[in-house]
Amino acid sequence: MRQKDARDTAIVHLFAEGKAEEALKQMAERGLVHVADDRAAAIKRLVSDWSWEERGKRDRALIFVGTRAEVAEVNEKCQEARLHERELRGEKFSKGELTLYHGDRVLFTKKTKQVQVENGTLGTIVKLTPSKKIAAVKLDSGEIVQVPLKNYKYLQLGYAVTTHKGQGTTVDNSYILAGGFMQDRELTYVQASRARLAMHLYTDKFEAGDNFSRLAKQMNKSNEKILAHEIIEQQNRELKTEQLKRKFNI
């Protein structure tokens, strides 16, 4: 229902039917699949393309990533790209690992009494007052909410999201970091069906395999019986491992 191009609709159906080989082939023929030498290069290419293509319309695009650890990495690189392009300005607010600027895209991860915003809601910071630890965020719905940054712990950068967080979102263009242990048919369908206009897929040679054989196998595998709490526990374990690596510079 979202896709404006019939070719994109057909690709979504192919992924849903477990025919990822054909879907990837059709995308590759249209220049929508980008295979880098390694994972780091794939992320770099994705952020570079997003930075250039979505300039001036950041709220109309979204990056989909499999794990929370890679979401954090991609979000940080997107923010760095916008700082380099001087799209973010004014004083910054920092708390723990989170740094925010006026103009940043943000994601709400929990609804509280303080901030009556649903989990998964995206918005843009339209006013930031670091001295008072308050941010005014314009939600994508158009509503503006005041966020007490000192006490509200459920705000993060919102350029990239896990596929689970973004499953109710519709955007003009999507950028997908494919591969990894989370990739399966259900996640692939969500990733492929979020964009109205264009879907761009990024991966690396190892994850892709010869003629996309490895990636297609993962995308065709159905894990609909896996419980949500098992997925969350796995993501938490990976996030803790990534934090330890950063702490000890591994």
Class of the 78-157 domain?
mainly beta
Mean pLDDT, to the nearest integer, of 196-211? 97
Give the per-residue pLDDT at 228.
47
6-68+159-247 domain in CATH 3.40.50.300?
yes
Give the per-residue pLDDT at 237.
63
Q: pLDDT digits over 141-172, tens only? A: 999 999 999 999 999 999 999 998 998 899 99
Contacts 24+ apart (CB under 8 A), 221-229: 221/184, 221/185, 222/18, 222/184, 222/185, 222/186, 223/184, 223/185, 223/186, 224/185, 224/186
Q: List, by residue range, all CATH 3.40.50.300 domains of the chain.
A: 6-68+159-247
Q: Where are the alpha helices (DSSP H) in 59-209?
A: 68-84, 185-192, 205-208
Q: pLDDT digits over 47-67, tens only? A: 999 999 999 999 999 999 999
Cα separation values, 135 from 57, 92, 138, Å: 21, 11, 10
Q: What mean pLDDT is reported for the chain?
A: 91
Contacts for 49 with CB less than 8 Å, ≥ 6 apart: 34, 175, 200
Q: pLDDT digits over 136-149, tens only? A: 999 999 999 999 99
Q: List, by residue range, all CATH 2.30.30.940 domains of the chain.
A: 78-157
How far apart are alpha carbons 218 and 183 in whole angstroms? 6
| Whole-prediction pTM | 0.88
With b for 16 or more beta-carbon neighbours within 10 A and e for fewer, the 18-33 pattern comes to bbbbebbbbbeeeebb
Residue 226 has pLDDT above 60, yes or no: no
Structure-model confidence comparison of residues 207 and 248, the more confident one: 207
Compute CA 212 distance to the chain's CA centroid, rounded to the nearest angstrom.
22
Mean pLDDT, to the nearest integer, of 86-104? 95
Q: pLDDT digits over 114-137, tens only? A: 899 999 999 999 999 999 999 999
* Percent of the chain at pLDDT exceeding 70: 89
What residue has token string 């803790």? 240
CB 241 within 8 Å of CB 207: no
Give the per-residue pLDDT at 89.
87
Mean pLDDT, to the nearest integer, of 227-243? 56
Would residue 90 be called left, alpha or beta, if left means φ above 0 and alpha means ψ between -120 and 50 degrees?
A: left
Give the per-residue pLDDT at 67.
92
